[in-house]
Amino acid sequence: MRFALILLMLAAPLLEIALLIKIGQTIGVWWTLAIIVGTGLVGLAALTENGLSAPLKMQDALRRGETPVVSLLDGALMALGGFFLLLPGFIGDTAGLLLLVPPVRAFVARWALRHLFLADVSIEVQSTTWRGGADDRAAPSPDRSRKTPASGTGPLIEGEYRRLGEDAANPDVPGSDGDKPR
């Protein structure tokens, strides 16, 4: 598999150059350059559109309570299509244009999820509270027997503090002027 990938990475630029030369001879240099610049502008527009809409699609998925994997993968494939269109060459332009077509993008996404990501992934969201006790303050763990803090308050972190710059000596507060060693 790795050898085939390395071979493809070496052969693709050579095929692109050969195809550019052949098409340039057939339709002319100026028309070839016009097509390359035109597809580059389409790729730039696709990247710009994807950059603006992908985060909004992910936020919408999160608001609906869904994982944003589908919108994230769709945005990544659209960005990849725009990137292919930016590169000079007709093979990359063809791949980029195909990735801009939604049914083709959905097919590639299904294939990628099935073949490239081999692990089964499940996401479970649960409340995490802090266990009490002096020895165990820094270890978060799911503890369903304790009540969780009120919504919006976050985890409860116990500790001691003193305000810096207070002049009054208070013997009850460790570290204040009343606690100076003699």
Q: What is the pLDDT of residues 55-114, one digit of tens each?
A: 788 888 888 887 777 778 888 888 899 999 999 889 999 999 999 998 998 888 888 887
* Residue that is written with structure tokens 């692109």 in the block: 16
pLDDT of 150 higher than 70: no
Residue 158 lies in a domain: no
pLDDT of 27 higher than 90: yes
pTM of the model: 0.57
User: What pLDDT does residue 95 have?
Assistant: 93
Tens-place pLDDT, residues 30-58: 999 999 999 999 999 988 887 777 778 88
Question: What rounded mean pLDDT belongs to the chain?
Answer: 75
Residue 95 lies in a domain: yes
Looking at the chain, the whole-number percentage of residues with pLDDT higher than 90 is 27
pLDDT tier at 147, thresholds 50, 70, 90: very low
Q: What is the mean pLDDT of residues 139-145?
A: 48
Residue 70 lies in a domain: yes
The pair of structure tokens assigned to 105 is: 């993008």
What is the spatial distance between Cα 23 and Cα 63, in angstroms, rounded to a whole number?
Answer: 49
Cβ contacts of 175 within 8 Å, gap of 6 or more:
162
The pair of structure tokens assigned to 148 is: 């969780």
Q: Can you give the residue range of the structural domain that contains 81?
A: 12-115
pLDDT of 152 higher than 60: no
CA Rg value for the chain: 29
Residue 130 lies in a domain: no
User: What pLDDT does residue 3 have?
Assistant: 87
Residue 21 lies in a domain: yes
Which residue in 81, 72, 80, 77 sits closest to 54, CA to CA? 72
Residue 66 lies in a domain: yes
Residue 29 lies in a domain: yes
What is the spatial distance between Cα 106 and Cα 21, in angstroms, rounded to a whole number?
Answer: 33
What is the spatial distance between Cα 77 and Cα 69, in angstroms, rounded to a whole number?
Answer: 12
Residue 47 lies in a domain: yes
Total count of domains within the chain: 1
Cβ(123)–Cβ(67) below 8 Å = yes
Q: What is the mean pLDDT of residues 159-168?
A: 66
The pair of structure tokens assigned to 175 is: 């570290």
